[in-house]
């Protein structure tokens, strides 16, 4: 079995708006600060895991409301109702300044590892709002993967088991609250690389765990890190 290396990405890390686009969000600050603007806690968790497991971490540097790093170029959801107001020059600037460099950095690192005969485990780190469209979401931690890719399924099950042992108080579910095969950053790499060379898994953390009892979020980060280390060791 080839050596396995971990790569981490955090597509919705921040709600930063470059100065030239601030006017788009005038009187819309609440939206920018909400789950629509960024994934609360995701950047902190991604950076913690990267340091704990000595893995590279690629981070989106602007709000998803300008350009969504987790959507393919052809996906209408690449742009929000705010950025669709921009002219072609404005959208091109966002793509050239943020979206394409982010994607190119991840793509180059994956290609380098696979070219060196290694297998890449690409972990995307996200969080989700506890209530969507008036419905309470009961999942605490979601693990997203493609059920048709055997390596992803094995690793996702291993990670779920480790998390459940570490945190029996939490509901850890597979492909919930989203489907692992929905269009996203990892979709193109799955088409490009065979399943024995590239594995894509996403972590989705309920944001109520990020904003809960003081100190509990830091404990959960350590528990996730330990569980991820255990799952990685099992697939080594």
pLDDT of 214: 86
Angle between the 216-234 and 42-53 helix axes, to the nearest 10 degrees? 50
The whole domain housing 190 covers: 4-234
Question: Model confidence over 15-66: pLDDT tens digits?
Answer: 999 999 999 999 999 999 999 999 999 999 999 999 999 999 999 999 999 9
Structurally, the chain folds into a number of domains equal to 1
- pLDDT above 70 covers a percentage of the chain that reads 99
Return the bridge partners of 131, or none: 136
* Tens of pLDDT, residues 184-218: 999 999 999 999 999 999 999 999 999 988 899 99
- Tell me the C-alpha distance between 46 and 127, whole Å: 11
Could you give the dihedral angle defined by the CA atoms of residues 191, 192, 195 and 201, in that order, rounded to the nearest 10 degrees? Answer: -70
Look at residue 236 and tell me whether its pLDDT is greater than 70. Answer: no
Predicted pLDDT at 212: 87
Ramachandran region, residue 62 (left: φ > 0; alpha: ψ -120 to 50; beta: rest)? beta
**pLDDT at 234 > cutoff 90:** no
Count of residues making up the chain: 236
d(CA 207, CA 204): 9
Q: Give the CATH number of the domain where residue 194 resides.
A: 3.40.630.40
- pLDDT at site 235: 57
Which runs of consecutive H residues, i.e. helices, occur in the chain?
A: 29-33, 42-53, 88-94, 100-115, 150-166, 187-192, 207-210, 216-234
Gap between the Cα atoms of 12 and 5, Å rounded: 23
């Amino acid at each position: 079995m080839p050596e396995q290396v971990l790569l981490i990405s955090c597509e919705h890390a921040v709600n930063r708006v470059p100065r030239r686009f601030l006017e788009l969000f005038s009187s819309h600050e609440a939206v920018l600060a909400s789950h629509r603007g960024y994934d609360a806690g995701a950047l902190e968790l991604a950076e913690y895991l990267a340091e704990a497991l000595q893995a590279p971490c690629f981070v989106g540097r602007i709000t998803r409301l300008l350009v969504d790093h987790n959507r393919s170029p052809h996906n209408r959801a690449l742009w929000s109702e705010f950025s669709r107001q921009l002219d072609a020059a404005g959208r091109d600037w966002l793509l050239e300044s943020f979206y394409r460099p982010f994607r190119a950095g991840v793509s180059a690192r994956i290609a380098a590892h696979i070219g060196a005969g290694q297998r890449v485990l690409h972990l995307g780190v996200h969080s989700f709002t506890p209530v969507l469209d008036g419905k309470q979401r009961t999942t605490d931690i979601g693990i997203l993967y493609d059920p048709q890719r055997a390596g992803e399924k094995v690793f996702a099950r291993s990670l779920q088991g480790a998390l459940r042992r570490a945190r029996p108080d939490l509901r850890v579910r597979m492909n919930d609250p989203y489907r692992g095969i929905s269009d996203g950053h990892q979709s193109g790499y799955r088409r490009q690389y065979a399943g024995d060379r590239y594995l894509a898994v996403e972590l989705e953390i309920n944001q109520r765990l990020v904003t809960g009892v003081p100190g509990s979020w830091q404990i959960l980060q350590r528990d996730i890190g330990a569980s991820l280390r255990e799952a990685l060791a099992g697939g080594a």
